Structure 1
Amino acid sequence: MKLHKNIFYSLLLICFSTSCNKQLDLPSDGRISMDQVFSDYNRTRGYLNSCYGHAPAPNIIRSSYSDEAQDADDVIDGSQYIMWYGGNITTSTFPMYSPDAGPWVGLYEGIRKCNVFLENIKTATVYVGDEEKAGWVAQAHTLRALYYLQLIKRYGSGPLFDAPLPLDHDFSQDKKSSFSEIVTLILKDCDEALKVPDTRDGFSWAIYDNQFGKMSRAIAYAIKSQAVTYAASPLWSDGTYTWEDATKITAEALAQCLANDYELFANKPEAGIAQNPYALYFITSSNDQRAVDKETIYQLGGQLQVWKNAGLPTNPGMERAGPNPTQELVDSYEMANGELPILGYADANHLQPIINPASGYDPMKPYEGRDPRFYASIYYNGADRNLAGSLIQTYVGGAEGISTTDRRYTRTGYYLRKFNNHRSGASNNSDGAVRLFRLAELYLNFAEAAYQSVGADVKVNDSNLGLSAREALNAIRKRAGMPDLKTGMTKEDFEKRYRNERRIELAFDEHRYFDVRRWKILSTTDKFVTGMRIQKNGESETFTRFKLRDRGSAADKFLLYPIDQIEVNKIFQLTGENWQNPGWLD
């Protein structure tokens, strides 16, 4: 298969190309044996460093591929969003239009490098202390687990390789491993890493100077938590991993992080900086030693330019409005009293909301009295743009008004605020970054597993956590300034509140795209989305919900990425088996 051969034969060129020669002190032609690499301290560390950087970074644009947002670029002929929403994607064109192209080859390249490192370090003659060497091994195991997790989230399955392939490897014997089989390796890798002592040179909780992005114990626990939560979910559950298993593993992950100085970010912002701690967190930079941000477990990818790529048209230098929050997302934010404002819709097009009379929601003042996370995440008509009285105008004809033809203006009546610092601009980008793993997700993963296995109100004492599913959600709600959920809900009612809580807490963090798939609700959530058109007449305003065109991307084939067709063709030639994912047969 081209993938494996390319990775094997070009490994030295990839790792020891001209750009790496200076760092690794290699000859100009790049020829060097593995024995030579693993006999030298700097070369060995250089090879380990080359194992990093193969996972696709999270980005806010994925929200436009879910029911969180409608992208303003859907007005441009041939744009990736027009093609996606139209469902006009084939196996061959998928990399051109997907949120992160096709990371299949890149992820297997990273897996291959980790395998080579783990195999060669066993007999390496490099002069290094046992503790530091064990720390290197732990990093490689964690990286391999990370790559396999990112792979199966997208593709569902693939060949499982836990050792380097020999030159005479018989590719015709390769098999496509199941989701749960790969999760088993992921958990094993993380457990192997966690056996290494928690020391500076070993596998530490702490992040030291100039180690930003290095694998850590917290990352290993976060990978375990997410992997087992996905494995127990409807799309992937095959009986190998139950919700009881997920409860035990997620409880340990959460308990260990809480015991080692991880906590939900709750710093109060200075006046004029951000509305609340939740808003401040997403414009606060993570740092090596976690002096301020103790919630982030792993930030993969750099600083965003929300002001430019998902901004307001009144920002000088802004280029596009990007992912515009949908009315469905806005409806999901509770009222400040903890009540859901909208209980559902009386019509198939979501134009007639069923208002919860106990909530206090006023359809003529729809943005008043909402969850504080709403104000931190979404620019709406009347939002205080700079926290100094400059109000957003999304009404028809307003400065940030709705448009059906201009990519610089909102398609839905809303703009993205999360990650955006209102002081950002062409000369001063102060926007935030998406976290791949953060502590709030571990609370949510635990809550999901616990309510499924023991109920919402039963305290789970695994790893001495002593927390119920409801209490886990309440911890997140407390940080947001929301009241506790009440006891005694049915499983069905709690599931609705849990999924809603996850939706708003993790909005625009990339999770919604994967959640609706693993829960097998894609066909209903992503069929279409709606927006809000506001007409202003003097001091009065008229609010009209409207439906955007149906999406073809809610079909079942979009539950998974297609495997690169060139790889599928080669496997078919070798084995006669078609590895392509369902529905992606061009």
Structure 2
Amino acid sequence: MKTQTNYKTQSAVQAAKSMAAWSGKLLAGISLAAGMVFLNSCRDVLDLKPLNAYSESDVWTDPNLAQVFVNGIYDQTVLAYKDGGFGWGAQTDELYGNFNWTNENSYVQGEATPDNQTSSSLNRWGDLYSSVRNCNVFLKNVSQLDTASNGQAVRNMRGEVHFLRALAYFELLKRFGGVPLITKVYDVNDKAFSEKRATWTETKEFILADIEQATKLLPATYSADLDKGRATTGAALALKSRLLLYAASPYFNTSGDKTLWQQAKAAAKAVIDFKEVSYALYGNAGNGTYNKTYLDFFNPEVIFARVYSGLVKADRYNTVSRDLSPNGYEGYSAYNVIQQMVDAFEMADGTPFSWTNPVHAKNPYANRDPRFYATILANNQPFKGRSTQFFEGGDDSPQSPYSPWNASKTRYVMRKMVDESVDWQKQDYAASQWVGFRLSEIYLNYMEACAALGEDGEALTYLNKLRSQKAGMPPVNASGTALMDKIRQERRIELCFEGHRYFDIRRWGIAETGSKDALGVIITKQTDGTFTYQSAVVQKRVWQQALYFYPIPRTELQRNPALTQNPNYN
């Protein structure tokens, strides 16, 4: 796991108090990557004074130092699958975690409690509140910065911080529901900490207010290459689209309020129609360019992303190609695609795949949706100069002579986001892009809202546009409930492994459907070169109603007497 700075490993309360004492240590914990803009533009300043010698007054009178502080908040940012998000998939019908890197097994096997929320888990309560705290520190002190000569830079930073705080609170909201809305910067001498949880709706409205501020303050684009990856107007609008889609969804919108769906529709359309940046779908599985969506940095589909260079190792942030690849290629098979996800991909003609169809069962990986081949690495598929061998005794199997302990237990691994050009036998890290928001998601948000409002024609237009441009798949013709089912299916395929499925099935109120036993397949190679397939249970799973939300760590409840636990946890 990534080595974490002091304040990231502390509880929310401890982080809030200890960070108040950073006067001479403010910049010491900011990563090299986060400070690159500063290091390149302010070398003269750095030559005069070491980073750990700056005082609080130095920072809030120098926009360059203030920008480094903001960069540090980016480094803290929890962003979907970048921060263990494959672990979200391993708690659904997408993936099995081979090494339990994010403590996902405790959730799927009915063992999650408020007492076993480890620092490696996806809970992240303390990390997220640490990010909130740093945003609050900035907003408290930003008025000290000189805006006469640095007005635009300060304006941009204010927008960035409002966006980053909104993003942190959204990550809290989707994990825990309503949470304490803290805007105060707690002092190291503050002894009392008693903050009640806001409701789900109150938390949503707070996030919206930050998003509105960010939208007003942020630029649409940045001119300097080094500023790519910073928050923009489009990023704020995309976050608003995601938030309002959640708010309109059945689990939270129990009355079926159409107004909420109208708001979700309008928010998505605002991104689609955003004229200052020409966002466009990019990469088509039908012509073999699908993974360019993730591998081509800041391509036209990307609205917000975090990029890690290949200059230094950043743990799993830039070792993803090695981590996901099969053991026979000296990879780790870290996340195994489960059979339920494999079977979800349609045939190339748009019909469902079925093991009861003898043609499908004989050759289950033939003639599938082109995204199947760009997303999943199955048996006998071309990869890095040879065909994969997940069959029993093959080079990529548990009986392989090549690191069999790293073999996939389901006999499938992820191909999505893997850069085959990386030679991880020589160097196991390379530049990588983690996409937080992209246009395909916004299309899916929009068509879901349209379908919920009965606007089937508009929903179909965007559904078929996405299928055509991202996969070369035939058009769909459906209406009503059948159309909504198709949209949910499309979302499952297009956004798989990107940290969406876990939260989608919860906001739809069908979380238990994603918690069935994880299946794989045993593949046997026959003497004539053909293969036979036998289903196998890889992991027994237990569903608990409590798992609609994460438990608040027990330590937080003990430190904050006003805090209440989520339902169905002791």
TM-score higher than 0.5 here? yes
In structure 2, give the amino acid aligned to 1:260.
V
User: Paired residue for 2:39?
Assistant: none
User: Paired residue for 2:463?
Assistant: 473
Q: Output one character per residue of 1:531-554: Cα deviation in whole Å (capped at 9) or x when no partner.
A: 2222222123222222334212x3
Distance 1:469 1:407, change over 3 A: farther
Give the SS at the match of 2:159: helix
Deviation at residue 24 of structure 1 after TM alignment:
11
Find out whether 1:246 has 2:272 as its counterpart.
no
Q: Output one character per residue of 1:443-492: Cα deviation in whole Å (capped at 9) or x when no partner.
A: 111111111123321xxxxxxxxxx22222222211233334333x2322
Give the SS at the match of 2:290: helix
Equivalent of 1:508, from 487, 490, 497?
A: 497
Q: Is the 8 A contact 1:141 1:189 kept in 2?
A: yes
- Give the 5 Å matches for 1:133-148: 133-148=154-169
TM-score after normalising by structure 1: 0.81
Find out whether 1:232 has 2:248 as its counterpart.
yes
Q: Is the 8 A contact 1:180 1:236 kept in 2?
A: no
User: Paired residue for 2:239?
Assistant: 223
Indicate the RMSD between aligned Cα atoms, in angstroms.
3.3
Give the SS at the match of 1:95: coil
User: Paired residue for 1:462?
Assistant: none
User: Paired residue for 2:38?
Assistant: none
Deviation at residue 431 of structure 1 after TM alignment:
7.5
User: Paired residue for 1:325?
Assistant: 337
Find out whether 1:63 has 2:89 as its counterpart.
yes
Q: Is the 8 A contact 2:318 2:432 kept in 1?
A: yes
User: Paired residue for 1:88?
Assistant: 111
- Give the 5 Å matches for 1:4-403: 4=13, 6-13=15-22, 16-18=26-28, 32-33=55-56, 37-57=59-79, 58-59=81-82, 60-73=86-99, 80=103, 82-95=105-118, 98=121, 100=122, 102-122=123-143, 124-125=145-146, 127-165=148-186, 174-196=195-217, 203-206=219-222, 208-237=224-253, 242-256=260-274, 260-266=277-283, 276-284=288-296, 286=297, 290=298, 293-300=299-306, 302=308, 304-316=318-330, 318=331, 320-342=332-354, 353=355, 355=357, 362-386=360-384, 390-401=386-397
Give the SS at the match of 1:531: strand
Give the SS at the match of 2:347: coil
Distance 1:308 1:172, change over 3 A: closer
- Give the 5 Å matches for 1:520-559: 520-539=509-528, 540-552=530-542, 554-559=543-548
Give the SS at the match of 2:336: strand
In structure 2, give the amino acid aligned to 1:88.
E
Structure 1: distance between partners of 2:524 and 2:65: 65
TM-score after normalising by structure 2: 0.83
User: Paired residue for 2:3?
Assistant: none
Q: Is the 8 A contact 1:13 1:30 kept in 2?
A: no
Give the SS at the match of 2:406: coil
Deviation at residue 580 of structure 1 after TM alignment:
1.4
Q: Is the 8 A contact 1:55 1:150 kept in 2?
A: no
Deviation at residue 5 of structure 1 after TM alignment:
5.9
Q: Is the 8 A contact 1:24 1:43 kept in 2?
A: no
Structure 2: distance between partners of 1:12 and 1:486: 59
Structure 2: distance between partners of 1:150 and 1:507: 19
Give the SS at the match of 2:135: helix
Q: Output one character per residue of 1:306-333: Cα deviation in whole Å (capped at 9) or x when no partner.
A: 44322212214x3x22111111111111
Find out whether 1:437 has 2:412 as its counterpart.
no
More divergent stretch after superposition (521-530 vs 422-431): 422-431
Distance 1:546 1:3, change over 3 A: closer
Percentage identity across aligned positions? 25
More divergent stretch after superposition (22-31 vs 442-451): 22-31
Distance 1:110 1:338, change over 3 A: same
Structure 2: distance between partners of 1:396 and 1:6: 50
Structure 1: distance between partners of 2:238 and 2:12: 29
User: Paired residue for 1:463?
Assistant: none
Q: Is the 8 A contact 2:393 2:399 kept in 1?
A: no
Distance 1:402 1:365, change over 3 A: farther
Q: Output one character per residue of 1:499-522: Cα deviation in whole Å (capped at 9) or x when no partner.
A: 111111111111112222222222
Q: Is the 8 A contact 1:244 1:453 kept in 2?
A: yes
Structure 2: distance between partners of 1:216 and 1:29: 30
In structure 2, give the amino acid aligned to 1:71.
G
Give the SS at the match of 1:477: helix
Structure 1: distance between partners of 2:266 and 2:420: 42
Structure 1: distance between partners of 2:352 and 2:164: 40
Q: Which runs of 5+ in 2 are unaligned?
A: 1-9, 36-44, 309-316
Structure 1: distance between partners of 2:120 and 2:189: 36
In structure 2, give the amino acid aligned to 1:281.
T
Structure 1: distance between partners of 2:421 and 2:150: 48
Give the SS at the match of 2:197: coil
Structure 2: distance between partners of 1:328 and 1:447: 25
Q: Is the 8 A contact 2:391 2:524 kept in 1?
A: yes
What is the count of residue pairs matched by the alignment? 528
Q: Which runs of 5+ in 1 are unaligned?
A: 197-201, 270-274, 343-352, 458-467
Give the SS at the match of 1:534: strand
Give the SS at the match of 1:300: strand
